[in-house]
Amino acid sequence: MQNIPLAERIRPKKISDVIGQKHLIGKNGTLKNAIENKVIPSMILWGPPGIGKTTLSNLIAEELERPFYTLSAINSGVKDVREVIKKASSSGLFGKDVPILFIDEIHRFSKAQQDSLLEAVEKGIITLIGATTENPSFEVISALLSRSQIYVLESLSKDELQELLVRAISQDEVLKKKNIKLKETESLIKISGGDARKILNILELVVGSAENKEVVITNDFIINKVQKNIVRYDKNGEQHYDIISAFIKSIRGNDPNAAVYWLARMIEGGEELKFIARRLVILASEDIGNANPTALVIANNCFQAVNTIGLPEARITLSQATIYLACSAKSNSAYIAINEAQEEVRKSGNLSVPLHLRNTPTKLMKELGYGKDYIYSHNNPTDSQEFLPEKLIGKMFYKPKSNIKETSFKEALKKQWKGKYNY
């Protein structure tokens, strides 16, 4: 039993034993209600590593007494998918015994592999449960997304991780043989980053390395035991999020040297290149925007190039794009503008479109005044008609920053609107 990892030894045996995800499987949880009604949709479980996506999928199958098939996107191809679907179609169809097909890391499936699932999902031959750490809207094809429910799983809270530690030392047959005291757990919880599997692995590591039968868990004890192991890049854990954060903040802060360093850390650590390139595209709009519109072109071309050429050459393209974005002028005005506009929409509701801006497809609409007094801007470029709902006249969402490009925008807008907006 000692050769079996602690996380496996104390894996929950029923859904009520699962720690965390109360918004899904707690009282009145959306997924719990579906399970109790014995009818579950195909679904994508999206969340960080080590929070129980695989465990939950197994438990759902056991709770519903369904056949359970599993594939890993890392080592499965279209042929494997078709073989499983063939087995599933003979074991149950259109009833309570419809098999569940669990695909771990479904974001790694190619379009062809995902396409091979469509017919079986659509016809109810299988119920698909896909697990992913990446945003499914980026990595899962739209046809499969439209046939699946997206459930977002959350990292475990401090209290939930504490509960997990207590359960481990009180219920695991191996750990119960030692006298383990949880005196301080802050460092253990912090290092885990909300990852249940990771905190259990660390606990098992430090307890196993202790010479005495009595083990007192303190912050210093944990740091001394695992500090040398947490400096490595973990593309599926806390380091994944910390290093991409450092990377983005270095570019935002106009430091190409630091940005390239963090880029190198990710490449050497085996980070998925598409993930890095996608973040550059986001940053080009969020942090640079109209201070340098070419940044978005560069970032998008980088994304396309990374998908085309791969390693090792793609690292050069990523480096070029990273340095360009880090050295570029910065503006978050577009990001702020859409945030404030959306907040206004949520606050103001569906304000009426001014009559002169409305579409006029019928004679009756024209008679009602739709489109009346609209001035065609190309013919009258200096005429400043009103485009906002009456309640919002004069409201500013876009506020140009003090860079060369947006300063020119500001001067043009001041001339156009003659003091209406406070530019």
pLDDT, tens digit (0-9, with 9 covering 90-100), for 50-64: 889 999 999 999 999
For the cut 70, the answer to whether the pLDDT of residue 366 exceeds it is no
Of the residues 327, 356, 373, which one is the last residue of a structural domain? 327
Q: Are 146 and 171 within one domain?
A: no
Has residue 283 been placed in a domain? yes
For the cut 90, the answer to whether the pLDDT of residue 413 exceeds it is no
Q: For residue 39, what is the domain's CATH number?
A: 3.40.50.300
CA atoms within 13 A on the CB side of 221: 21
Of 86-95, 101-110, 293-302, 368-377, which range is least confident?
368-377
- 380 confidence band (pLDDT: 50, 70, 90): low
Crossing angle of the two packed helices 196-209 and 158-171, in degrees rounded to 10:
50
Is-contact 360 366, C-beta < 8 A? yes
Predicted pLDDT at 236: 53
Query: Is the backbone peptide bond immediately before 312 cis, with ω within 30 degrees of 0?
Result: yes
- 360 confidence band (pLDDT: 50, 70, 90): low
Q: Are 225 and 246 within one domain?
A: no
Range of the domain at 279: 238-327
Is-contact 103 130, C-beta < 8 A? yes
Q: Which stretches of 114-182 are assigned E, i.e. beta strand?
A: 127-132, 149-152, 179-182
Is-contact 237 195, C-beta < 8 A? yes
Q: Are 50 and 132 within one domain?
A: yes
Predicted pLDDT at 230: 47
For the chain, how big is the Rg over CA atoms in Å? 27
For the cut 50, the answer to whether the pLDDT of residue 231 exceeds it is no
Q: Are 36 and 140 within one domain?
A: yes
pLDDT, tens digit (0-9, with 9 covering 90-100), for 97-111: 789 999 998 988 888
Please give the residue that has the higher pLDDT: either 111 or 296: 296
Of 27-41, 221-235, 343-357, which range is least confident?
221-235
pLDDT, tens digit (0-9, with 9 covering 90-100), for 155-211: 899 999 999 999 999 999 888 888 899 999 988 888 887 888 889 988 988 888 777
Q: Are 146 and 32 within one domain?
A: yes
Please give the residue that has the higher pLDDT: either 229 or 287: 287
Is-contact 76 117, C-beta < 8 A? no
Predicted pLDDT at 187: 85
Of the residues 152, 169, 196, which one is the last residue of a structural domain? 152
Q: What is the mean pLDDT of residues 77-90?
A: 84
Crossing angle of the two packed helices 314-327 and 238-252, in degrees rounded to 10:
50
Contacts of 289 (CB under 8 A, 6+ apart): 331, 332, 333, 334, 335
Contacts of 99 (CB under 8 A, 6+ apart): 66, 67, 68, 69, 87, 88, 91, 92, 126, 127
Q: Are 118 and 192 within one domain?
A: no
For the cut 60, the answer to whether the pLDDT of residue 96 exceeds it is no
* Tokens describing residue 219: 């912050």
Angle, CA of 45, 25 and 134, to the nearest 5°: 15
Q: Are 106 and 171 within one domain?
A: no
Has residue 342 been placed in a domain? no
Number of domains in the chain: 4
Has residue 13 been placed in a domain? no
Q: Are 184 and 254 within one domain?
A: no
Q: Are 273 and 382 within one domain?
A: no
Q: For residue 297, what is the domain's CATH number?
A: 1.20.272.10
Predicted pLDDT at 247: 93
State the average pLDDT for the chain: 84
| Residue showing tokens 């959350």 | 154
Contacts of 270 (CB under 8 A, 6+ apart): 233, 235
CB atoms within 10 A of CB 266: 24
Q: Are 139 and 25 within one domain?
A: yes
Q: For residue 212, what is the domain's CATH number?
A: 1.10.8.60
* Tokens describing residue 27: 């009282």
Has residue 338 been placed in a domain? no
For the cut 80, the answer to whether the pLDDT of residue 263 exceeds it is yes
Dist CA 136 CA 107 (whole Å): 7
Amino acid at 108: R
Predicted pLDDT at 325: 93
DSSP summary character for residue 284: I
For 159, phi then psi, to 5°, come to -65, -40
Q: Are 27 and 147 within one domain?
A: yes
* Tokens describing residue 141: 């094809």
Has residue 336 been placed in a domain? no
For 65, phi then psi, to 5°, come to 55, 45
Give me the long-range contacts of 319-324 (CB less than 8 A, separation at least 24). 319/260, 319/263, 321/277, 321/280, 322/247, 322/251, 322/256, 322/259, 322/260, 322/263, 322/280, 323/256, 323/259, 323/260, 324/295, 324/298
Q: Are 75 and 171 within one domain?
A: no
Strand-pairing partners, residue 149, are 43
Has residue 333 been placed in a domain? no
Dist CA 335 CA 401 (whole Å): 12
Of the residues 200, 229, 258, which one is the last residue of a structural domain? 229
Q: Note the pTM of the prediction, 2 decimals.
A: 0.58
Has residue 6 been placed in a domain? no
| Residue showing tokens 């980053």 | 193
Which residue blocks in 142-216 are alpha helix, DSSP H?
A: 142-145, 158-171, 186-192, 196-209
Dist CA 75 CA 103 (whole Å): 11
SS3 content of the chain, % helix, strand, coil (to 5): 55, 10, 35
Predicted pLDDT at 372: 66
- 238 confidence band (pLDDT: 50, 70, 90): low
How large a percentage of the chain has pLDDT more than 70?
88
Dist CA 241 CA 247 (whole Å): 10
Has residue 3 been placed in a domain? no
